[in-house]
Amino acid sequence: MLDQEPELITLQAGACSAVIAPAIGGRLFACTAEVDGQVRDLILPVPRDQPLAKAIANAGCYPLVPFSNRIENARFEHQGRSVALTAHPLGAPHAIHGIGWVKPWSVVECNGRAASLRIDHEADAWPWSFSAEQTFSLDSGGLTVSMLVTNRSDSAMPCGMGFHPYFPCPAGTRLRARVRDHWLLRPDCIPCGNERALGRFPFDGTTPLRSGLDDGFSGWDRRARLDYADYSIELTATPGLDRLVVYSPTHLPLVCVEPVSHITNAMNLEAVARRQAGWRVIEPGASWLESMHLAGKSARA
């Protein structure tokens, strides 16, 4: 049983449903759709029979803003300004996954089949004020999650974003995803180069997904599909989310297939390389919008 029952929002559109916990990092707790007459999970649902901290550790989907994955040693420089962040226990000594996933979000609007959540960050260790708004919208086939980031500072703000969904990964799960470059990683998951993915990562749907992955890729065509024995989950993303992180731990039957805007630690590359790696700059008052869509598909499709 959850040791503290968070406020939950339930959305419904025909046979599709979604459950959202605004105060728990704006996290999607569950999402289901009907496929071939059966209700199927589109993400790995947060279990309700465990303490909250344990329940959310490897389930649901949370926002990555204003950066994805790790910042080496929780430090970087931007336009001559040194930024020192707080390392997170999951990634220490590095900062990880941004701010949004650990902050409570406020409900802006909810109409039964769609909901909008918002955070307003005031400059602190992350020295730019910004707003982020997540919108969850159900349709007959699945769920769209959008994120709009607005720079409320008087100086240009560096930024990245993405989504971190957890999916079921029983034995025999296959992943289809076209990628071009693989980020070579140090043991602490900081990239140290890249290579053509070639055949090292056969995400062609013919080979069962192996465990032990924690890898990033560029040159992704923004479409991915997880094939199970009796249904499939399809993930698509908008143009700005054209990098992919795949995480499949050896000790748990799950996989994260994360659409993100930049490679890990992009902010610590040289200026030209930062832009090539997807790290963006948002001018004062400007906004940036991206989204992903999850849908259930027949295994026969």
- Model confidence over 105-129: pLDDT tens digits? 999 999 999 999 999 999 999 999 9
Residue 130 sits at the vertex; the CA angle it makes with 128 and 133, to the nearest 5 degrees, is 155
Of all residues in the chain, the percent with pLDDT exceeding 90 is 75
d(CA 21, CA 23): 6
Confidence category of residue 192, pLDDT binned at 50, 70, 90:
confident
What pLDDT is attached to residue 50? 87
The residue ranking higher by pLDDT, 275 or 247, is 247
Among candidate residues 278, 294, 6, 252, the one with its CA nearest the CA of residue 159: 278
Confidence category of residue 1, pLDDT binned at 50, 70, 90:
very low
Among candidate residues 14, 6, 4, 5, the one with its CA nearest the CA of residue 143: 14
The arithmetic mean of pLDDT across residues 6-11, rounded, is 92
The arithmetic mean of pLDDT across residues 198-221, rounded, is 88
d(CA 74, CA 69): 11
Q: Which two tokens stand for residue 58?
A: 């490897």
d(CA 101, CA 259): 15
What pLDDT is attached to residue 201? 80
Confidence category of residue 275, pLDDT binned at 50, 70, 90:
low
**Can you give the pTM of this predicted structure?**
0.95
Candidates 3.40.50.1100, 3.30.420.40, 1.10.10.10, 2.70.98.10; correct CATH number of 9-298? Answer: 2.70.98.10
DSSP H or E segment with residue 20: strand 16-21
Among left, alpha and beta (phi > 0; psi -120 to 50; other), residue 74 is: left
Domain ranges of the chain: 9-298
